[in-house]
Amino acid sequence: MINVTKTYLPDKEKYKKYIDEIYAAGKITNNGFLVQKLEKKLAEYLGVKNIVLVANGTVALEIAYRTLGLKGFAVTTPFSFVATTSSLVTNGLLPIFADIDPETLNIDPEKIEEKITPNTSVIVGTHVFGNPCAVEKIDAIAKKYDLKVIYDGAHSFGVRHKDKSIAEYGDIMTLSFHATKLFHTIEGGALVINDDALVEKARYLINFGIKNQEEIPELGTNAKMNEFEAAMGLCVLDDIAEINAKRKELFDRYKQALESAVTFQKVHPQTIKNYSYCPVLFQNETQLLRVQSGLNEHNIFPRRYFYPSLDTLSYIEPKQYMPIGRDISKRILCLPIYAELSFEEQSSIIDIVKAHL
């Protein structure tokens, strides 16, 4: 069976050495020494000042909203993983969708401004499949209307844009370190916070709102990463260059073989990608379903990602209609890509796709 992705598992003996250190220290959570070590290493690798590790990518978004004290409306994208929208709703923010650019698949900055009202407090964009949003244009809009900017960077680990880490853009960028991601900690996530003054607040928000033994100044939650997850992250980080190199080879082979038959996402020429996904667009949903069925018959399981468009969610009020987001979500399929996928397996996938177009 070939799935759309496969969890990368590092050398078992290396992981066991970290487990031995955890047992020797006797501390498995509450900002342990491996969590601190991983934060430092990730900050160095990503080229950022402040990174706060948390339990998962969804809670990273929730902590971002609380850290910035957001209320009211959030202008956001209909084309993202459901957590981008659901985390807004569960934190009392109303998602107001701005449709996407059909080539980059990111929120269209030309459609953001018309959605802003006096009740808007934030723009929440997603770097879709690690492809950076139009960050300069969004920054200009935010400054014009005195809005905060949060980027859901769940797919953006290690991406660079115009010689900067993509995580340096916006007030906060969140990351997901779920087991299916390019870099993972089994479960986990992080916030990259560009305002030094907000880092302390985020740290006590992830610890029930407890600032010290005598103060609980905010409504917090339990969002801490544990030591076993941090150990996995340290192991995976050692291998990230090798993982990236293999994914790039696979992506390039897909593009060379299929770019005349399907459409690939448009990426800014000054962006260094991470090749975390291989999304392709078909002419219509019928063609997609035919290809998907053909792959499934050979125990190959790509993913309709993201589907459905988030403006169709039943719990979103007022009802909104995003024609481009809905169209793209019906025509896009992510093909299998992961470090252990062999070129022979990939060639079979390519042949089946071509045969069913």
**DSSP letter string over 14-64?**
HHHHHHHHHHHHT--SSS-HHHHHHHHHHHHHHT-S-EEEES-HHHHHHHH
Whether this prediction's pTM lies above 0.85 is answered by: yes
Structure-block tokens of residue 337:
């890509």
Q: What is the DSSP letter of 95?
A: E
Give the domain ranges of the chain.
2-98+105-238, 240-355
Report how far apart, in Å, the C-alpha atoms of 185 and of each of 167, 196, 218, 246 are: 19, 25, 28, 20
pLDDT of amino acid 67? 97
Backbone angles phi, psi at 276, to 5 degrees: -75, -25
**Position of tokens 């089994």?**
186
Structure-block tokens of residue 187:
């479960």
Nearest C-alpha neighbor of 181 from the set 265, 125, 237: 237
pLDDT of amino acid 213? 87
Whether a cis peptide bond, with omega within 30° of 0, leads into 79 is: no
The tens digit of pLDDT for each residue in 180-220 reads 999 999 999 999 998 988 999 999 999 999 998 899 999 99
Strands 263-264 and 73-76: unpaired
Fold (CATH) for 2-98+105-238:
Aspartate Aminotransferase; domain 2 (3.40.640)
d(CA 72, CA 62): 15
**Beta carbons of 218 and 233 less than 8 angstroms apart:** no
Structurally, at CATH architecture level, domain 240-355 sits in Alpha-Beta Complex (3.90)
d(CA 38, CA 44): 10
- H or E stretch including 292? helix 285-296
At 269, which amino acid appears? Answer: P
Q: What is the DSSP letter of 356?
A: T
**Beta carbons of 282 and 262 less than 8 angstroms apart:** yes
**Beta carbons of 116 and 346 less than 8 angstroms apart:** no
**Beta carbons of 150 and 173 less than 8 angstroms apart:** yes
The tens digit of pLDDT for each residue in 74-83 reads 999 999 999 9
Which residue ranges of the chain lie beneath pLDDT 50? Answer: none
d(CA 120, CA 107): 16
d(CA 164, CA 16): 35
The tens digit of pLDDT for each residue in 96-147 reads 999 999 999 999 999 999 999 999 999 999 999 999 999 999 999 999 999 9
